[in-house]
């Protein structure tokens, strides 16, 4: 077995696993990171009033008027139940651009959530398959190489699905190179002079 | 067979440890935020939050020590115009100190766990060549992972990885079977050889034992001669 192909596949597999586990974070940052930074830069001074209006919308009393032991769980539940439609309704009610911007950010996150979770889980499984394939290649060269090749394609595909392709592309490339080097080893072994090896 | 099982345990444990350690990046901060919110609801009053707001508005955030936070609280209390007692500022500062300390310790433990997971994974790769160092790497990493997982409250998924790593580490220390050495003064039994029997034709069973069919290799050349 080619040592270079094995090492490249192992490095690619480990990187793929790390990037797949970080994909929830990177996918979130790629999707709404810039918009969130811009929101807090431009409308950071409105956050306090938005906080208060959101609480009122969900029927939570204003902060100093209620006991903290009651206010915290009520407001936590209100935050968990807030959707982009609630924020749109608040934007219409108070004619607020800040609520409208936040509604757009939350709507993008809601649309991404399912794809991000599926993409992350499948990328982790593909990375594990690549690591298993690298060990299988020691015993069954062709099967291991094909497993790594499939894993490289799958990690790239699922990272595209999750909207976080940039870090994963490097790992997929390493896996692809590793699998091709291993497959070239298979071809070189099959190309030996026939008739002599069987004896 | 045992070595193979040990390698598989160590390799699977290393991959699982990597997944669990990287999963801590999400579960631990979420757990800290949840516990801090719960503590705010159960331990603090409204005036503590007002005092915290006053402290956050100051630029000179103190270093991570109890004394520094107490000094900071007394400085803010002296210069504040809010109708809040000095003791409230002190309690709020100590709450912030505990939360920040918990955050820093958890961050260090997460980094340690990720490093330990990598050590365990690379240890499992060295299982066949250097079993003892590989076993030590896996056992130490399993211990570090378990301790940090218990401290950060994420023991449940990490325990399986630790068990696999511990199994791989223990198997690495089990010595391979070696032939038992002959005691001094004794020789192993060797059947006697009778040269007079060599002239007898071997039985059919002996003939098969001496030259089994799958051991016969002939190479036929194109001109028909046999090597």
Please say whether the beta carbons of A58 and A78 come within 8 A.
yes
Residue A71: list chain B partners with CB under 8 A: 41
pTM: 0.80
When pLDDT is averaged across residues A120-138 and rounded to a whole number, the result is: 95
Give the one of A72, A124, A135 whose C-beta lies nearest to B40's C-beta.
A72
| A195 assigned to some structural domain | no
Pairwise CB contact (< 8 Å): B44 & A68: yes
A24 Cβ under 8 Å from any chain B Cβ: yes
When pLDDT is averaged across residues B214-220 and rounded to a whole number, the result is: 59
Q: Which 178-217 residues of chain B touch chain A by CB within 8 A? A: 217
Residue A24: list chain B partners with CB under 8 A: 26
B47 vs B119 pLDDT, higher one: B119
Residue B22: list chain A partners with CB under 8 A: 17-18, 21-22
pLDDT exceeds cutoff 80 at B217: no
Q: What mean pLDDT value characterizes chain B?
A: 84
pLDDT exceeds cutoff 70 at A1: no
Which pairs with CB-CB distance under 8 Å and at least 24 residues apart come from A66-75? Answer: A67/B46, A68/B40, A68/B41, A68/B44, A68/B45, A68/B46, A68/B48, A68/B49, A69/B41, A69/B42, A71/B41, A72/B37, A72/B38, A72/B40, A72/B41, A73/B41
pLDDT exceeds cutoff 70 at B195: no
Query: Which residues, 6+ apart, have CB-to-CB distance to B7 below 8 Å?
Result: B124, B127, B128, B168
Please say whether the beta carbons of B73 and B92 come within 8 A.
yes
pLDDT at B179: 60
pLDDT at B24: 93
What digits encode the pLDDT tens for the residues A64-79?
Answer: 667 777 888 888 888 9
* Number of domains observed in the structure of chain A: 1
pLDDT at A44: 85
| A194 assigned to some structural domain | no
Alpha helices, H only, chain B: 2-43, 46-56, 66-79, 86-125, 131-152, 155-173, 204-210
Residue B46: list chain A partners with CB under 8 A: 63-64, 67-68
Query: From the CA of B8, how many Å to the nearest CA of chain A?
Result: 10
pLDDT band at B53 (very low <50, low <70, confident <90, very high): confident
Q: Where are the domains of chain B?
A: 24-173
A128 Cβ under 8 Å from any chain B Cβ: yes
pLDDT exceeds cutoff 60 at B227: no
- Cα distances from A116 to residues A24, A26, A104, A155, B84, in angstroms, run 7, 10, 18, 13, 46
Query: Which residue(s) pair with B220 in the sheet?
Result: B226
pLDDT band at B95 (very low <50, low <70, confident <90, very high): very high
pLDDT band at B101 (very low <50, low <70, confident <90, very high): very high
What digits encode the pLDDT tens for the residues B145-161?
Answer: 999 999 888 888 799 99
What digits encode the pLDDT tens for the residues A151-189?
Answer: 999 999 999 999 888 889 999 999 999 999 999 987 777
| A146 assigned to some structural domain | yes
| A196 assigned to some structural domain | no
What digits encode the pLDDT tens for the residues B54-90?
Answer: 888 887 888 888 999 999 989 888 888 888 888 888 9
Pairwise CB contact (< 8 Å): A17 & B15: yes
Tokens of A195: 């008739």
pLDDT exceeds cutoff 50 at A5: yes
pLDDT exceeds cutoff 60 at B27: yes
Interface test with B, best of A11, A14, A19, A28 (most B CBs within 10 A): A14
pLDDT exceeds cutoff 60 at B108: yes
pLDDT exceeds cutoff 80 at B140: yes
A67 Cβ under 8 Å from any chain B Cβ: yes
pLDDT band at A198 (very low <50, low <70, confident <90, very high): very low
pLDDT exceeds cutoff 80 at B201: no
Q: Range of A179's domain?
A: 3-189
B184 vs B33 pLDDT, higher one: B33
ipTM for this model: 0.86
């Amino acid at each position: 077995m080619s040592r270079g192909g094995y090492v490249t596949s192992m490095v690619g597999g480990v990187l793929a696993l790390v990037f797949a586990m970080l994909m929830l974070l990177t996918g979130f940052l790629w999707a709404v990171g810039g918009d969130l930074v811009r929101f807090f830069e431009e409308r950071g001074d409105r956050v306090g009033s938005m906080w208060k209006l959101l609480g009122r919308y969900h029927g939570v009393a204003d902060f100093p008027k209620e006991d903290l032991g009651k206010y915290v769980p009520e407001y936590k539940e209100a935050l968990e139940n807030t959707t982009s439609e609630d924020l749109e309704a608040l934007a219409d009610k108070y004619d607020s651009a800040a609520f409208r911007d936040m509604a757009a950010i939350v709507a993008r996150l809601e649309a991404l959530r399912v794809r991000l979770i599926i993409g992350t889980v499948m990328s982790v499984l593909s990375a594990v398959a690549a690591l298993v394939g690298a060990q299988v290649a020691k015993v069954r060269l062709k099967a291991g190489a094909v497993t790594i090749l499939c894993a490289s394609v799958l990690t790239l595909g699922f990272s595209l699905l999750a909207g976080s392709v940039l870090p994963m592309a490097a790992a997929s490339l390493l896996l692809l190179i590793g699998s091709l080097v291993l497959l070239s080893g298979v071809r070189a072994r099959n190309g030996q002079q026939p008739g002599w090896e069987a004896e | 067979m045992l070595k193979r099982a040990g390698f598989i345990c160590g390799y699977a444990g290393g991959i699982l440890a990597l997944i669990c350690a990287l999963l801590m990046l999400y579960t631990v901060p979420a757990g800290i935020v949840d516990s801090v919110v719960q503590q705010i609801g159960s331990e603090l009053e409204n005036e503590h939050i007002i005092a915290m707001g006053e402290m956050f508005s100051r630029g000179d955030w103190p270093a991570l020590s109890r004394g520094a936070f107490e000094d900071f609280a007394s400085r803010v209390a002296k210069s504040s115009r809010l109708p809040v007692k000095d003791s409230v500022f002190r309690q709020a500062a100590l709450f912030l100190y505990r939360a920040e300390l918990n955050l820093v310790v958890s961050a260090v433990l997460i980094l340690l766990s990720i490093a330990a997971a990598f050590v365990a994974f690379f240890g499992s790769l060295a299982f066949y060549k250097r079993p003892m160092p590989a076993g030590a790497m896996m056992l130490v990493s399993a211990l570090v992972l378990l301790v940090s997982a218990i401290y950060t409250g994420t023991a449940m998924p990490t325990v399986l990885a630790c068990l696999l790593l511990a199994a791989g580490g223990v198997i690495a220390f089990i010595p391979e079977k070696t032939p038992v050495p002959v005691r001094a003064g004794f020789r192993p039994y060797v059947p006697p050889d009778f040269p007079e029997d060599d002239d007898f034709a071997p039985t059919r069973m002996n003939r098969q034992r001496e030259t089994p069919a799958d051991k016969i290799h002939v190479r036929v050349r194109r001109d028909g001669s046999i090597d």
